[in-house]
Structures are given as structure tokens and as C-alpha cells.
Amino acid sequence: MQSEIRQAVRSELVERDEAILKAITKGKPETLNEWLTFILEWRKQSGFKTEWGNFPEKVMLIITELGRAVDAHREDKRELVEHELTDALIRFFDLLASLGIDVQTWLEKQMKNNYRRIHKHGKKY
């Protein structure tokens, strides 16, 4: 019974992985908003849910990934740092896409504001 369940899970994972690989090779996302949409669709296919109602949970998962990156840095494991930062970015992109945030527009708007600020915002650090 248990081996049948394992086989079914493996089969499902292989199908999902093949679908993701097909989506990636079909046309890799090029713009930031395309990446957000791609990650959103991947997350939906994976069975997870991101919405306003679980916003605190999703933010804490991002923070957890960042904490793991810091731990990896403390152990001088650069590849693991890169892995954890990328995991955080994927979770963050999913959150932004799930909330319907137009990241391209907001980035442009916010960077215009940032360029207007004085060096270090007038503070020591």
C-alpha cells in the first residue's frame, strides 16, 4: 500500500516537472511582470495558495528564507546563500503577483522617488 502511494506521488511529481520544463522551454519569461506571472502559475500548479488572507504567513516565509541565507553566510556557503536568496525572491514574486501588484510600474515610480533623495537620506547609515 505504502509503495503504491509513493509511486503515485512520484508519477505526479514527474508530470508536474515535465509541465514546468515544457513551460520554461516554450518561452522563458523575459520581463519582470512575466516572471511574476510564471511563478504565480507554477505556485497554483503546485497546490499552494497565496492571498490577502494569508499575507502575514507568506511574508514570514520570505523572512525565513532570508534567515537561512544569513545562516549560510555565517558558514561561508556562498552557493547556499544564492539558493536561499533565490527562494526568497520566488516567494516574494509570488506574493506580489498574487496581490495583483504591477511591479514594473511600482519599481519605476519608487526609483524616481529614490533618486530624488539625498545621500543616505541625510543619515549616518
Residue 39's pLDDT is: 92
Handedness of CA 57, 58, 60, 64 (dihedral sign): positive
Q: Do residues 98 and 50 make contact, with C-beta atoms less than 8 angstroms apart?
A: yes
CA angle 55, 85, 120 (to 5 degrees): 85
Residue 78's pLDDT is: 98
Convert the pLDDT of each residue in 95-107 to its tens digit: 999 999 999 899 9
How many percent of the chain have pLDDT more than 70?
A: 92
Helices 103-116/32-45 angle, 10° precision: 130
Q: Do residues 46 and 72 make contact, with C-beta atoms less than 8 angstroms apart?
A: no
Selected from 1.10.287.1080, 3.40.50.300, 2.10.109.10, 3.30.43.10, the CATH number assigned to the domain covering 31-122 reads 1.10.287.1080
Q: Do residues 104 and 32 make contact, with C-beta atoms less than 8 angstroms apart?
A: yes
Residue 108's pLDDT is: 93
Torsion of CA 65, 41, 47, 20, to 10 degrees: -90
The reported pTM is 0.72
Convert the pLDDT of each residue in 27-59 to its tens digit: 788 888 889 999 999 999 888 999 999 999 999
* Nine-digit cell string for 103: 511591479
Residue 86's pLDDT is: 97
d(CA 36, CA 94): 6
Listed by start position, the domains of the chain span 31-122
Q: In terms of pLDDT, which residue wins out, 34 or 26? A: 34
Q: In terms of pLDDT, which residue wins out, 82 or 124? A: 82
Mean pLDDT of 63-82: 98
Tell me which residue of 52, 57, 79, 55 sits closest to 68, measured CA to CA: 79
